[in-house]
Structure 1
Amino acid sequence: MAISSVRPAMLAGQYYPDDERVLRMQVAKLLAAAVPLEQVAAPKAIIVPHAGYLDSGAIAANAYRTLAGMRERIRRVVLLGPAHQAALHGFAVPAAQAFATPLGEVPLSRSDWLALQARDDVHIDDRLHAIAHSLEVQLPFLQAMFDSFTLVPVLAGDTSGEAAAELLDVLWGGPETLLVISSDLSHYLPYLQAQWIDRSTVEQILELRPDIKHDQACGAALINGLLLAARRHLLQPHLLDLRNSGDTAGDRDRVVGYASIAFCESEPSPHVRH
């Protein structure tokens, strides 16, 4: 394997523009228009959707907008998403050492790549990463928010919340590290039914209840893992946006649910003396 190997931008021109200038302008417009439901400071982790930008870009932008003050701080992004199109037991990292988008290349964290491939539950699979969209669609937003960072891209397959939480703990890092969980919510339900189910799912997340099912979210195991890790690390979730494709793309017969949620360190009580 060549160390310089690069995973190309497979979804450019489909999920987002393939022209650098157009893509940069679209991401900038989405971020400029973002108005999160809550104002939060310096999230440690975010949950964001991963559909095409016309469908879920505005919802994702409400999470990425909260990172505006972290441009100089973040130097490492741990990016996890589900492997939709193929069977996978455990987790997969690519052999490629960089991911490309029309905005440039993002290098992988070499030390994390070496450590992860030594784990029994992590496989090296460029084929899975080549067809996965859940990670790639996040990269232009991350490139717009941060000047320079290394990437830890992980796809999840048949795994548990406990396994995902253990992996997150290993990759947790310090204030230089952002954790990104890429997941959509309910799939292909009528508009009102999707609204009801997605609101229930978000309530579970906000209550840190790690019992999300796969029919509630395609990245259920990863969300459950983050909720378990958030409990241990005393993170507080904040809802930033909750909509579905019926709100953004028009068709309300069969919609996909989208949410953006930030996880921040709990602020100390004002009654506690130091």
Structure 2
Amino acid sequence: MNGQPLVRPAAVAGTFYPADATQLRRNVEQLLAQGEPHTLPSPQALIVPHAGYRYSGTTAATAYRQLEKCAGDINRVILLGPAHRVYVEGMAVPSSSRFATPLGEVPLDQAGIARALALSGTASNDEAHRQEHALEVQLPFLQCILGDFSLLPIVVGQCPVAGVAALIDTLWTGPGVLLVVSSDLSHFQPYDSATRHDRSSCQRILNGEHDLKGSDACGAGPINGLLASHRGSRLQRRLLAYCNSGDTGGDRQRVVGYGAFSLH
């Protein structure tokens, strides 16, 4: 590698979000301006959807607006999301040094990755990260809001809730750390049944229940782990915004649900 850091290039720029840096920054800033402000305590964790920005961007932006007043205090982000592209047994971290988007490169938290690899059920797996959109689509929002930060990206596959909770409790320590779980809600139901399903799932998250299934949320694994973790279980939870793809231009016979939550 000639001493150069190994960079994971953007995989979904131009599909899930704009590939041009100027257009992307403008898009994110416009979404943030549309997001609903809240007068809540600064979040310690967020649950954020990960569809294309035209579908879930405003909902995601409502979550990230909660960081505006505390952005200067955050220097490390732990980002967990589900595996969409490949089968993953356990949890996967990359061997990369940086993740790239059109807005630049984000350095990875190498010490955090080493701590994660010391845990049972966690392995280095670049293939799990190579095409995974769930983590990537969060990065431009974080880059625009936080500026400089280090990232600990984790793809959560098939593993027990207790294992995810143990990883979160091990890594989510110290000042200046934000934890983000990337997840959509129900998938491909008609509009009315999806809304009912999602309403129930949102209430279960607010109740702190940690037995969601994949049919409730594609990121059920990391959501359950967050809510079962020692720190996550003690936080207050607030639903910031909800919609589905039928509200934002998609087919109302096959919608995907999007919820944004703050834990503070």
3-state SS of 2:218 partner: coil
CA RMSD of aligned residues (A): 1.4
Gaps of 5+ in 2: none
TM-score, normalising length: structure 1: 0.93
TM-score, normalising length: structure 2: 0.96
Offset, 1:105: 0.3
CA distance in 2, matches of 1:198, 1:109: 34
Aligned length: 263
What one-letter code is carried by the residue in structure 2 that aligns with 1:91?
M
Gaps of 5+ in 1: 265-274
What one-letter code is carried by the residue in structure 2 that aligns with 1:190?
P
CA distance in 2, matches of 1:253, 1:233: 35
Residue 270 of structure 1 corresponds to none
Offset, 1:234: 1.8
3-state SS of 2:152 partner: strand
How does 1:183-198 map onto structure 2 within 5 Å? 183-198=183-198
Percent identity of the aligned residues?
48
Does structure 2 retain, via aligned residues, the 8 Å contact 1:78–1:178?
yes
How does 1:99-178 map onto structure 2 within 5 Å? 99-178=99-178
Does structure 1 retain, via aligned residues, the 8 Å contact 2:93–2:123?
yes
Residue 272 of structure 1 corresponds to none
CA distance in 1, matches of 2:95, 2:110: 11
CA distance in 2, matches of 1:117, 1:71: 28
Does structure 2 retain, via aligned residues, the 8 Å contact 1:201–1:216?
yes
3-state SS of 1:246 partner: coil
Over 3 Å counting, the alpha-carbon distance change for 1:175 and 1:231 in structure 2 is: closer
3-state SS of 1:262 partner: strand
Residue 31 of structure 1 corresponds to 32
3-state SS of 2:26 partner: helix
Offset, 1:147: 2.1
Offset, 1:55: 0.7
Residues 216-246 of structure 1: CA deviation (Å, up to 9, x unaligned): 0011111111111266652000010011000
1:226 aligns with 2:231: no
Offset, 1:162: 1.5
CA distance in 2, matches of 1:207, 1:233: 10
CA distance in 1, matches of 2:145, 2:175: 16
CA distance in 1, matches of 2:128, 2:224: 22
3-state SS of 2:100 partner: strand
CA distance in 2, matches of 1:224, 1:120: 18
